[in-house]
Amino acid sequence: MFKRILIANRGEIALRIIRACKKLNIETVAIYSVADKNAEHVRISDHAICIGQAPVSESYLNIPAIISAAQITKADAIHPGYGFLAENAKFAEICEKSNICFIGPNSASIALMGNKISAIKALQAFDILPVPGSSQTNTLDLAKSEAHRIGYPVLIKAAFAGGGRGMRIVKNATDFDLAYHEAKIEAKHACDNETIYIEKYLNEPRHIEFQVISDHYGHVELLGERDCSIQRRYQKIIEEGPVTNIPMAVIQPIREKLKLATQKLGYHGVGTYEFLYQDNTFYFIEMNTRLQVEHTVTEEAFNIDLCKWQILIAAGKPFQMTTKPLRYAIECRIVAENTKLGTPSPGIITKIRLPGGANIRIESELYQGIQITPYYDPMIMKVIASGDTRADALINMRQALNELLIQGIDTNISQLQLVLNQPWFITQAIHTNILTAAKEPMHEIPA
């Protein structure tokens, strides 16, 4: 077992990893930028080391500084969390060569499955089909030819970027050239890689993802599915699970194919296969080779600590646990932003009051007086509500958001409350474009 783990991240996920380490009696090392010197993960970690200035290029993406911090503090493993370097194959490879365990799949698996194009090709061998198109286009002419072949509207996507960066919907050939160049520039800025591909744009799909966990001894388990269809600007804002309203005859074959693919591809650790689902058909879009932001939905539904098991598997332990959903869970992401303008809302938290009671879980680093900076992702909290049924979980979530109070900055709390009370959300008549398509006055939620 590891003696000391360096956490190459910040915010709520850094706290989440620290808690998992404490369960396993493992010391933790927090890294932080100058802007995060008063962060909660720095305070509660066993050790802490500043690695640079506020910009991510000088801190949380600074590979030499992070490796040096691990060596100085004698950490024998690094947990990347999500975002930043979590799916950076080069970083994982450097960890391997430095005799530091990277808590996640090996660098080869990240290189294969972290690239959307190669991941699509890998899963096609197991009869897991992508959205029509889904092929790399190295030039503008090839991209236009592919768009013409599959028919408009199409979606231009970055092969390596996430969170909707490097994505453009193109409805006709006239708009294609500009969208193509914009997507490449945005992809380059987001992840220093401008590789893009073209796929058919689906108008009203659901976003369904499959949580997988796999050890080094051939044990692979799929821990249900999550519905992440409520999104704005390609960013998930509400997630829930397990998914119960898709026919078993449709979903079970996908489960079996994914389990086989995970085994044959030699993937170890936790991961998430993401699909679009429309007209009783699943279309594979990407794999996340890391812990998801919304892993807490599965944890509450299955009564499992995915972060702890991620560490145990990296340490060579076999996965041994009965996996059956026991409850229903819903997660809301609280974001520091002006929802009318769609812009971040940095500032100082002047007052905060958290919800309580049974079946409510809060993942956050907030406290009164903390400075929310403009340098990092604006998500500041996750609220997870669970219950015996979806209806119970929804009641609990509504009450939690009613109790939650955050002052000093703008947030999306009232907008989440609005969504939770929409008839289409209550009946699960949802899809990824629902915030745009809703007939109700949803003007305060830019889609």
Asked, for residue 119, whether it belongs to a domain, the answer is no
Between helix 306-314 and helix 295-302 the angle, nearest 10°, is 100
Nearest to 229 by CA among 444, 424, 439, 394: 424
Let me know: does 442 contact 424? Beta carbons within 8 Å: no
pTM above 0.85, yes or no: yes
- 371 in the same domain as 232: yes
pLDDT tier for residue 212 given thresholds of 50, 70 and 90? very high
Same domain for 47 and 153: no
> What is the pLDDT, as a whole number, of residue 320?
87
- The rounded distance, in Å, linking the Cα atoms of 392 and 399 is 11
The pair of three-digit structure tokens given for residue 377, joined into one six-digit string: 């992702």
Does a structural domain hold residue 373?
Answer: yes
Distances (CA, A) of 439 to 60, 252, 315, 424: 42, 34, 51, 10
Active site residue 10: no
pLDDT above 70 coverage of the chain, percent: 98
Q: Do 40 and 15 contact (CB within 8 A), yes or no?
A: yes
When divided into structural domains, the chain yields a total of 3
Same domain, 290 and 401: yes
Cβ-contact 359, 397 below 8 angstroms? no
Does residue 96 share a domain with residue 178? no
Q: What's the CATH number where 163 sits?
A: 3.30.1490.20
Candidates 165, 199, 20, 156; CA nearest to 83 is: 165
Give the per-residue pLDDT at 442.
Answer: 52
Question: In this predicted model, what pLDDT tens digit does every residue of 135-193 receive, in sequence order?
Answer: 778 799 999 999 999 999 999 998 887 777 889 999 999 999 999 999 999 988 777 78
Rounded to whole angstroms, how far apart are CA atoms 130 and 298? 24
Whether 312 has a pLDDT exceeding 60, the answer reads yes
Is 127 inside a domain boundary? no
Task: Return the pLDDT at 172.
Answer: 95
408 with 372, same domain: the answer is yes
**Max CA-CA distance within the chain?**
60
Is residue 15 one of the residues assigned to a domain? Answer: yes
Query: What average pLDDT does the segment 309-335 reach?
Result: 95
In this structure, the answer to whether residues 157 and 238 fall within a common structural domain is no
Which of 185, 200, 215 is the endpoint of a domain?
A: 200
Same domain, 256 and 393: yes
Other Cβ atoms closer than 10 A to 373:
16
User: Are 280 and 396 contained in the same domain?
Assistant: yes
Q: Which of 179, 200, 221 is the last residue of a domain?
A: 200
Q: Which of 10, 16, 226, 290 does the annotation list as catalytic?
A: 290
Domain containing residue 369 = 206-437
CATH number at residue 281: 3.30.470.20
Q: What is the reported pLDDT for 361?
A: 99
Query: Tens of pLDDT along 89-147?
Result: 999 999 999 999 999 999 999 999 999 999 999 999 999 999 998 777 879 999 999 99
Position 447 pLDDT exceeds 50: no
Q: Do strands 47-52 and 77-79 pair parallel, antiparallel, or not at all (unpaired)? A: unpaired
In whole angstroms, what is the distance from residue 388 CA to residue 366 CA? 29
- Picking from 167, 183, 200, the residue at the C-terminal end of a domain is 200
Residue 444, pLDDT score: 53
Q: Does a structural domain hold residue 426?
A: yes
* Whether 294 and 220 share a structural domain: yes
48 and 80 in a single domain? The answer is: yes
The closest of 272, 356, 283, 247 to 124, measured between CA atoms, is 283
Per DSSP, the residues of 180-202 read HHHHHHHHHHHHS---EEEEEPP
The residues facing 226 across adjacent strands are 209
CB 400 within 8 A of CB 414: no
